Amino acid sequence: MNPIYLDYNATTPVDPRVADAIGTALREWWGNPSSSHAYGRAAHDAIEAARGQVAALIGATPEEIVFTGGGSEASNQAIKGVCLTRPRGLVARLFTKAMPHVITSAVEHPATAKPLEYLRKLGIRVTVLDVDRHGLVDPDDVRRAITPRTRLVTVMHSNNETGTLMPVRDIGTICRERGVLFHTDCAQSVGKVPVDVREMSADLVTVAGHKLYAPKGVGALFVRKGVELEPLIHGAGHESGRRAGTENTPYIVGLGVAATLFREGEAPAEPMGGGSAGASPSQLRDRLHAALLAKLGDRISLNGHPERRLPNTLNVNFHGQIGPKLLEQVPRIAASVGAACHEPKQGQVTVTPSAVLCAMRVPPDISQGAVRLTVGRYTTEAEVDEAAELLLAAVGDSRLKP
């Protein structure tokens, strides 16, 4: 019997319809998209069709979509591309005396935080904004942090650990008013909630294929028309000169199909491992939370905003527990924790609290019991009910142990 998969924020299974499209592309559209002959044109046309599908999903135009090797590459391209682009004309002369300034939040994914660490070493100034206890950035903090040197604000749309949805529309409006570029990482959002780049006033948006029931190794970056970026990968003029490297036609085709499935709201196909579609993600999430609350009461607490969060994400602290050890007791559940577990030499387990939960000021003795439970397209009510029973049993057993 397969484990109950409750780790959809880590990755999603490839939808069988996406897999079928990839298979077709592997067999039929294997030509080099840059070649001018019939085989190249067939691959090129397949990529352009996918470009239109991804653009339609997020409210962009096809020419504003750059295909990448994944979400991390897309965010690196956005952040480094903005900061390493040399401004022209009068602006260029103004920037010769000082490096650009970037604003971000304390709860970003490493795909944003690590590129900013690298840019810091080059002398670029980075302001990291605090979040409240729900993990939200205050748009007024963004407004106050902007200086004449600010070139970019990068704040994620939804947090990968807690699911909290940031006020990106307000932040984007502030950036547009101040003439500052705005990047938002929508890797966790696309495929779970509607994303519209125009409503967000976003200039750059990250999309990750494997969070959208497409394969790992493919993603996209929305680049608003008129925004100039230094390429992250230099070479030939692929992707209109914005990302060198022969395009991965089959996976791009798969991403396009995945985008269309979500945009059109089609019912899930039968998953590879069996099962069937049931309640909505938010219903399943709330059903699981209610079952845990009914038995544990104030012995669990929610991480993230109670309403403004992804419909599939439940991050809770099991008080008096250590998240990794709790999950070890329930191998039937495939889930993640909100902390990094380490095994010291003496054999005792210690937990380094999640940087996200630390930024939200969750006490360490509470956050060490954090577990992230995320449902998805193929999760059933029966699985949620069984997962709740298994977790409750594990908590009960651990309380009896010396």
Two structure tokens written together for 66 = 């750059």
Angle between helices 16-28 and 249-264 (to 10 degrees): 150
Which candidate, 222, 219, 218, places its Cα nearest to that of 200?
222
First to last CA, the chain: 32
Q: Which helix (H) or strand (E) holds 204?
A: strand 204-208
Two structure tokens written together for 62 = 């096809």
Angle between helices 281-296 and 381-400 (to 10 degrees): 30
Contacts of 53 (CB under 8 A, 6+ apart): 255, 256, 257, 259, 260, 263
Q: Give residue 216's identity as a one-letter amino acid code.
A: K
Catalytic residue among 83, 175, 341, 358: 341
Two structure tokens written together for 295 = 């038995």
358 is catalytic: no
Two structure tokens written together for 223 = 């680049």
3-class secondary-structure state, position 156 = coil
Beta strand 300-302 pairing with 336-337: unpaired
Angle between helices 249-264 and 38-58 (to 10 degrees): 30
Q: Which residues face 68 on adjacent strands? A: 219
Cα gap 115→126, rounded to integer Å:
11
Contacts of 168 (CB under 8 A, 6+ apart): 155, 157, 184, 200, 202
Beta strands in 254-402 (DSSP E): 300-302, 313-318, 333-334, 336-337, 339-342, 350-353, 370-374
Q: Would you name the residues annotated as active-site residues?
A: 341
